[in-house]
Amino acid sequence: MGLFGKKLSPEQKDELQHFVNTLNATREACKVSMDDFKVNTLDFYHICFRVRAQGRELQETECLNVIERPNEDGVWEAECLKNLGMSFEVSVLIDKARDAVEWYTDFLKEAQSEVASIKYAVWYPKKFRKALDSWTFYFQWLLMDICLGWVAKALQPPRPLTNEYKNPKLKMFVDGLGRIYQGHRDLFPKPLKL
């Protein structure tokens, strides 16, 4: 443990190792699911961000100027497209985003439930108890109404992603996805070590 703490028994070390392995496996599953979610929503996010900034409605087809994909190291990198005429059908992108939001929400709720079922003993070092608290906060943030809730609501028919003053679904979509991406980047718990 530490210089002034009690030495852990072999059973306690095994229990802590299981705790660490469980949270690290959850972390890896969450990283993979976020990468899948981003692959299925990020291109459309860039399109909607641009359309919103231009103050107009989405058209049946829209062009994409930037793509972001993970490199070999898993780091997301942006690349400007040379072919600015590359267009996408918005209805297809809406369906793809709906499916991604539904799947990701279900995944997060299941992972949140699994993490909530993890219990720690009072003798666990503080960093392990804090790690569990950071996971709880991470899931609560992503599942908040202003994150996934807004994105899901913005994609609902009739007339998904409208850019009207009294029905700003496009704004909700862009803001909600922005909070999800930022929340994952800023709040994603670090891997644990024993």
Identify the residue whose tokens are 């942006």: 78
CA dist 76 and 67 (Å) reads: 10
Instruction: Write down the domain spans for the chain.
Output: 10-42+94-187
Joined tokens for residue 192? 């644990």
CA dist 167 and 151 (Å) reads: 14
Q: Check residue 83 and give its pLDDT.
A: 55
CA dist 155 and 98 (Å) reads: 6
Q: Check residue 82 and give its pLDDT.
A: 56
Expressed in percent and rounded to 5, the helix, strand and coil fractions of the chain are 60, 10, 30
Q: Check residue 72 and give its pLDDT.
A: 73
Q: Check residue 74 and give its pLDDT.
A: 67
Q: Which residues, at least 6 apart from 175, have a Cβ–Cβ distance to it below 8 Å? A: 146, 150
pLDDT along the chain (194 residues), means of 10: 64 91 95 93 90 88 73 68 68 94 96 92 89 93 90 91 82 94 92 89
Q: Check residue 62 and give its pLDDT.
A: 84
